[in-house]
Structure 1
Amino acid sequence: MQPLRIGIVAGEASGDILGAGLIRALKQRYPEAQFEGIAGELMLAEGCDSLYPLERLSVMGLVEVLGRLPELLRTRRRLIRHFIDNPPDLFIGIDAPDFTLGMERALKAAGIPTVHYVSPSVWAWKRKRIFKIKHSTDLLLTLFPFEADVYAPTRQNLRFVGHPLADVIPDQLDLDAARQHYRPESVASLVALLPGSRGSEIKYLARPFLETARWLQQRRSELHFVLPAANQRRHEQLQQLIDAEFTDLNLTLVLQGSREVMAVADAILIASGTATLEACLLRKPMVVAYRMAGLTYRIYSRMIKSPWISLPNVLAGEEMVPEVLQQRVTPEVMGPLVLRALEDETYRRRLQRVFAVIGEQLRQNASERAADAVIELLESRRAER
């Protein structure tokens, strides 16, 4: 019997985390299973064969995508042709819906079972996408419990699996080691700065985050800041900026380690994205910021239906953490909000209680549940044949 072959495509670092956990869980059941597609470092470590580099897919924003659109479309066409010519037993697209759903639809039409892991944010904007998703995928794996209701009109085959981050945070953190490495005893108060991992995020957020650190330091000289760089390239970019303009800061730039840095921080200034969920699961007060090209924001802002953009607020159903967008991303706006996150003990205690409840809701052994649902789909298709 031929080993199980699964096509799998992740579009960014958060998808790499999900993909690695799912591959690991599937291999527990099918040790000889083969995986190929687009993978990051974590998926590669689990034995996935990457046909294209993941970083070429990791681009945000409507305007920003335009310059890369020919390459993205070409890559997708080649992947579709590859999988149609060499059909896998199943194809899994992880997040990156603008890229993966088109693949899923073509492969499903060719008779290949398809799975989409992570619901697009249809609850926030472009709700009519639920019909496209229904035509594109045989199984939708969702991370959050409220998402099932959104898909009721299409009777989508859907499984809530929880979020893998909730299964590992904070259990897999060595807090003593993290403190020794990132928070010496001489540091009284620590603020983590996380301006994002993408080039566009560094472009729009790194300088205002560092300016906010300076604003804070002028008011509380004992503060220390730690800035984790997602990879070597981002580390070099940030180091150049710091050397040129911010040598006066009580700042440590580190390579990776963002989760550990957040775990030992007293407050976090953070770009909107998956990292905010990590901070939530760590029960940390944070200020969430985001800035993008003006035209991109004008287009998005007209389509977004949710009152919040950050996952902690969406999951709480109320504004637990402040959100600062576009032209408001300034030290004068963000600085006082970070101070409140540091100093308001009543607020900090309430936030920790709410975030603890969210963690319990999402802690579902997600990778195992996702693997169970994938295997169920595979077995049902084999029975049909």
Structure 2
Amino acid sequence: MQNTTSMASAPLIALVAGEDSGDQLGADLILALRRRYPDARFVGIGGARMLAQGFESWYDIRELSVMGFAEVLRHLPRLLRLRKDVTAQLLAARPDIVVGIDAPDFNLGVERKLKAAGLRTVHYVSPSVWAWREKRAEKIGQSADRVLCLFPMEPPIYQKHGVDARFVGHPLADRFPLVADRAAARDALGLPQDAPVLAVLPGSRPSEIDRLGTIFLDAAARVAASMPQVRIVVPAANPAVHARLTQLLSSFAVPGATAPLLVDGHSHEAMLAADTVLLASGTATLEAMLAKRPMVVGYRVAPTSYRIARALKMLKTDVYALPNILARACGLGNRLLAPEFMQDDCTADNLARATLDLLGDSERRGGIVAAFEYLHQALRGGLEGHAADHAAEAIAELIPSLPSEVTTR
């Protein structure tokens, strides 16, 4: 019996992840790649989940966790030094392939230099070219040999600019069932089955709670004042967010209403348990959509960041929440599935009125749920298996096979 094994079966694979979401993507990707390359070595920048899969992290992932123009500018010298150091290490290590996971402001610069030096590069999670300056797609192609896209409308944009891009499915679409179990989620959180439930998620970072927490909890208080039977659940993403929310909730007092339930984590359960979700714009809106929960979306960025984006006319869309963007891209028309209030429109009064409208209209909520079920299927794209497996396949195609082979009998 003959067994032929390519030396490429033990490649050196570099991953550079930013943010907690990138760490989760990286961990799932490592698992999928190990099924193809059991002896592969994974190095670069990652977090706790990637480390648990045997990843060798050269730097702390938290060094990349910076958002917004103003925030990035404040940390720019440190980020530039880090990018230079990471690039030098990767050039010295000469991995078989380099995968930048999200964090485009950091990763695309690294990838560009590595690609110019002859290394194979992949960018996993396309920047929002459908919202911010579509012409960036061509520049992204100068950094990445292949772009892995989470949304089905993204590859055609890259193709217009001659860039190799592949839709691999959205990992979150694998984590939510097509039919949600509201009763089980309410039992898990100790919420009654017969009361309206509102989940409130003002953000997952302390800076977001500082900017949005008071507005969102004020809106929730107004909802409770008009609908005393409503139960409010507020999941805290981490201890720092929990501490800030505890302080804000200490002044929450609505006669006749039940005090909000503050829980550690369990954001998915809170969404699944809710009739309506009031939340900050971002990935959480996609999670609420996959939980099939009608939502009201609000957000404010740092004023400097907002002024710069407006002055430079960087936005090419007039909607912000991902469910609304996906609905348009997937042919569901221009109506807003999720009412959204951005910047100066993000007020407690606006959020409360929109939330009460949704809570009081079961027929409208039913239509939104049906649309969200359709969009969930679209994010799977008819692909068999999990998104991480499709991403691993797209990456493996670019890992060079070495000419020499080891043959054993």
Could you tell me the TM-score, scaled by structure 1's length?
Answer: 0.93
Contact 2:18/2:65, CA 8 A, preserved across alignment: yes
Distance 2:367 2:47 in 1: 37
User: What aligned pairs does 1:45-60 form with structure 2 within 5 A after superposition?
Assistant: 45-60=52-67
Aligned to 2:276: 267
Moved more, 229-238 or 281-290: 229-238
* Matching residue within 347, 350, 353 for 1:330: 347
* 1:11 maps to which of 15, 18, 23: 18
More deviation in 225-234 or 209-218?
A: 225-234
Give the distance between the partners of 1:309 and 1:57, measured in 2 at CA.
Answer: 24
Q: Quote the residue 2:176 is aligned against.
A: 169
Name the counterpart of 1:202. 209
Name the SS for the 2:398 alignment partner: helix
Alignment partner, residue 83 of structure 1: 90
Q: Could you give the per-residue CA deviations for residues 57-96 of structure 1, whole angstroms, max 9, x where no partner exists? A: 2222111211111121121111111111112111111111
Change over 3 Å in CA distance of 1:185–1:73 after alignment to 2 = same
Structure 2 CA distance for partners of 1:102 and 1:279, relative to 1, 3 Å: same
Superposed counterparts of 1:28-107, under 5 Å:
28-107=35-114
What is the identity, as a one-letter code, of the residue corresponding to 1:246?
Answer: F
- Note if 1:316 corresponds to 2:327: yes
Q: Quote the Cα distance in structure 2 between the aligned partners of 1:367 and 1:176.
A: 30
3-state SS, counterpart of residue 397 of structure 2: helix
**Percent identity at matched positions?**
46
1:357 pairs with 2:370: no
* 1:335-354 matched pairs, under 5 angstroms: 335-354=352-371
Q: How many residues align?
A: 382
CA contact (8 A) 1:119 1:142 kept: yes
Residue 306 of structure 2 corresponds to residue 289 of structure 1:
no
The answer as to 2:267 corresponding to 1:246 is no
Shift of 1:296: 1.0
- Give the CA deviation at 1:123: 1.3
Structure-2 change in CA distance of 1:109 and 1:256 (3 Å): same
Question: What corresponds to 2:391 in structure 1?
Answer: 370
Give 2:374's aligned amino acid.
V
Which structure 1 segments of 5+ residues have no match? none
Could you say what the CA RMSD is over the residues aligned between the two structures, in angstroms?
A: 2.1
Q: Deviations over 1:156-199 (max 9, x none)?
A: 11111110111121279886653223242277121111111123
Asked if the contact 2:206/2:240 (under 8 Å) is kept, the reply is no
Shift of 1:48: 2.0
Q: Distance in 2 between matches of 1:135 and 1:153?
A: 14
Partner letter of residue 269 of structure 1? Answer: L
Distance 1:75 1:186, change over 3 A: same
Q: Which moved more, 1:182-191 or 1:21-30?
A: 182-191
SS of match in other structure, 2:197? strand
Helix, strand or coil for the counterpart of 2:152? coil
Distance in 2 (CA, whole Å) between partners of 1:171 and 1:280 is 11
Q: Give yes or no for contact 1:187–1:224 (8 Å, CA) kept in 2.
A: no
Partner AA of 1:288 in structure 2: V
Instruction: From the superposition, tell whether residues 40 and 189 of structure 1 become closer, same or farther in structure 2 (CA, over 3 Å).
Output: farther
Alpha-carbon separation, structure 2, partners of 1:91 and 1:193: 38
SS of structure 2 residue aligned to 1:372: helix
Describe how 1:86-235 pairs up with structure 2 within 5 A.
Answer: 86-170=93-177, 178-185=185-192, 188-235=195-242
Distance 1:382 1:135, change over 3 A: farther
Structure 1 residues 172 and 256, CA gap change in structure 2 (3 angstroms): farther
Q: Deviations over 1:183-229 (max 9, x none)?
A: 42277121111111123211211111111111111111111211111
CA contact (8 A) 1:59 1:198 kept: no
1:223-254 CA distance string (max 9 Å, x none):
121111111222122223323x3365621111
Asked if the contact 1:200/1:292 (under 8 Å) is kept, the reply is no
1:64 maps to a residue whose letter is E
Distance 2:50 2:103 in 1: 16
Q: Deviations over 1:126-152 (max 9, x none)?
A: 222112111101111011111122112
Q: 1:66 to 1:102 in 2, by over 3 A?
A: same
Q: Deviations over 1:324-356 (max 9, x none)?
A: 111222211000111122121221111111111
Structure 2 gap ranges (5+): 1-6, 329-333, 405-409
Determine which structure has greater relative contact order: mean sequence separation of CA pairs < 8 Å that are 6+ residues apart, divided by chain length.
2
Counterparts of 2:370 and 2:207 in 1: how far apart (Å)?
34
Partner of 1:307: 318
1:260 is paired with a residue of what secondary structure?
helix
Contact persistence 2:182–2:274 (CA under 8 A)? no
How many angstroms apart in 1 are the aligned matches of 2:64 and 2:75?
A: 9
CA distance in 1: counterparts of 2:186 and 2:61, whole angstroms: 32
